[in-house]
Amino acid sequence: MITRPVPAPATEALAPTDTFPRRHIGPDEAEVQEMLRTLGYASLEELIAATVPEGIRLHRELRLPEPRGEHELLDDLHEMAARNEVFRSFIGMGYHDCITPPVIQRNVLENPGWYTQYTPYQAEIAQGRLEALLNFQTMVADLTALPLANASLLDEATAAAEAMGMCHNLARDHGRRGFFVAEDCHPQTIAVVRTRAQPLGIEVHVGPADSADALGQDLFGILVQYPTTDGRIVDYAALAERAHAGGALFAVAADLLALTLLRAPGEFGADICVGSSQRFGVPLGFGGPHAAFLSTRDENKRQIPGRLVGVSKDRHGHPALRLALQTREQHIRRDKATSNICTAQVLLAVMASMYAVCARARGRRTSSRRHARAGSTSATTATDRWASASTRRPWRRTCGACGTRSPWAGRWTSPSTTCWRTRARSTRCRSRGPAPTSSTRSSIGTIRSTRCSATSIACRRATSRSRPR
């Protein structure tokens, strides 16, 4: 039997008592003997001899130092970490340092009730987590002007590869094999897209965005970066129109914070929008992890990868949240699956959604302008000019059916929408997408509203607008 070294009797009194085996190895000696008697063995050595083949056993003790206590080990780790030299990062390319509000750091990032969460499969005990993810979906759908967003993906590059696969599935009937990636996309995005395309037999074309030719290059999709990896703001409306005229889908990898000022991708013709929510209060973390997002049009909902939180009803008829449209390969046949992505960044998506609630629309716009000014005067001028264009979206919206005001800045192409309470009570609502557009639970500090009084089969879609106070 291989055991850890035992301290000598002379030093046993000084041995640490906060060792890890005592906390992490459950059975004590009496329980071990009881289990051995049940199995019919006199010792652990007999059990190992009967179960572990002789050829793979290590016939010596492990070369390990003396056991150390938890506090001693933490002190050594702090001393080691203090030797790191931390410099300001100028890498960019989708990674930007930001401030994590202390209220989010203390109550979410460092709270075991949040950081140990995974997929909320048991909806009856995960309504709070689902509501936080619903806020994330609402925020992404609002800023991208695409009505359907998932509950996060692994990172921006993976989300771009998922967008390519989604475009390929949507255009499968056309038999096209080409996918165009603008050369001013982030380099890690281009690399992951190329890697994912190889086993699928997809030919990836990389070049200037204006050189994309849907018919000449046999393209089923086009991906551009907005803003570009070097910070330029490009109007892609004409390119999106040419892509659609050539039978290709148009995908945009966007900066979520920049979308608080820039024209939304859904307004200039994007079919899919992907990106990272790292700038919404999530630390750099030496490159990750960070929660990515993917939003799309309602007609593409059967092909959206990842998880989707939707509003349903419980057995009492009250609005309740659950996972919807689960079309990954762990739920259905692999040949029918839309994606093999089965891991979301739940904690980081929750942090991003809480950051959006904490900062609110005006704070996010102020932060975005500050980043633009810090970049360069020319970038600020271009951003302000773009933000003040005639295509600027409304700031807020109010549900025409029940009067509930949304907490997010209005970002829809259509001037009309209804709140999620109205949509939950309507069986044939024509509002955009099956997912709710806002959450009204005061526990997360979003909005407080009265119970929706709309009882009609089809919601009224009149909307009143107002500028921010």
- Domain match, 330 and 285 both: yes
| 333 lies in some domain | yes
| Residue that is last in its domain, among 82, 113, 135 | 82
Name the stretches of the chain with pLDDT < 70.
Answer: 1-12, 119, 173, 327-343, 361-469
Residue reference for tokens 């395309």: 197
Print the domain residue range for 455: 396-469
Query: Does 55 map to a domain?
Result: yes
The pLDDT tens digits of the residues spanning 123-155 come to 888 899 999 999 999 999 999 999 999 999 999
**Going by DSSP bridges, is the β-strand pair 203-207/219-226 parallel, antiparallel, or unpaired?**
unpaired
pLDDT tens string 224-259: 999 999 999 999 999 999 999 999 999 999 999 999
15-52 pLDDT tens trace = 777 877 777 777 888 999 999 999 999 999 999 999 99
SS3 (DSSP) at 346: helix
- Please check whether residues 150 and 71 belong to one and the same domain: no
In a domain, 390, yes or no: no
How many structural domains comprise the chain?
A: 3
Same domain, 429 and 461: yes
Residue 377 lies in a domain: no
Residues 173 and 278 in one domain: yes
The pLDDT value recorded for residue 427 is 32
Residue 240 lies in a domain: yes
Please check whether residues 192 and 282 belong to one and the same domain.
yes
Angstrom CA distances, 42 to 29, 53, 205, stand at: 13, 19, 67
Task: Count other C-beta atoms under 10 Å from residue 66's C-beta.
Answer: 12
pLDDT for the residue 9: 53
pLDDT at 91: 80
Do residue 440 and residue 296 come from a single domain?
no
Q: Please check whether residues 52 and 129 belong to one and the same domain.
A: no
* Residue 425 and residue 294 in one domain: no
CATH code of residue 149 = 3.40.640.10
188 & 300 share domain: yes
> How far from chain centre, in Å, is Cα 193?
18
In a domain, 378, yes or no: no
Rg from Cα positions in the chain: 27
What dihedral do alpha carbons 404, 410, 414, 418 form, nearest 10°?
Answer: -20
Give the CA distances from residue 383 to residues 128, 210, 325, 371, 377, in Å, rounded to whole numbers and listed in that order.
37, 21, 37, 11, 10
- Tell me, what's the pLDDT at 174? 74
Looking at 354, 387, 409, which one is the last position of a domain? 354
Query: Which secondary structure element, helix H or strand E, spans residue 131, and what is its range?
Result: helix 127-144
**Is 2 within the bounds of a domain?**
no
Q: Are residues 152 and 194 in the same domain?
A: yes
Is 94 a member of any domain? Answer: no
Predicted local confidence at residue 39, as pLDDT: 94
Residues 223 and 133 reside in one and the same domain:
yes
Based on the domain organization, do 204 and 129 belong to the same domain?
yes
Residue 352, pLDDT score: 95
End-to-end alpha carbon distance in the chain: 73
**Among 320, 335, 354, which residue terminates a domain?**
354
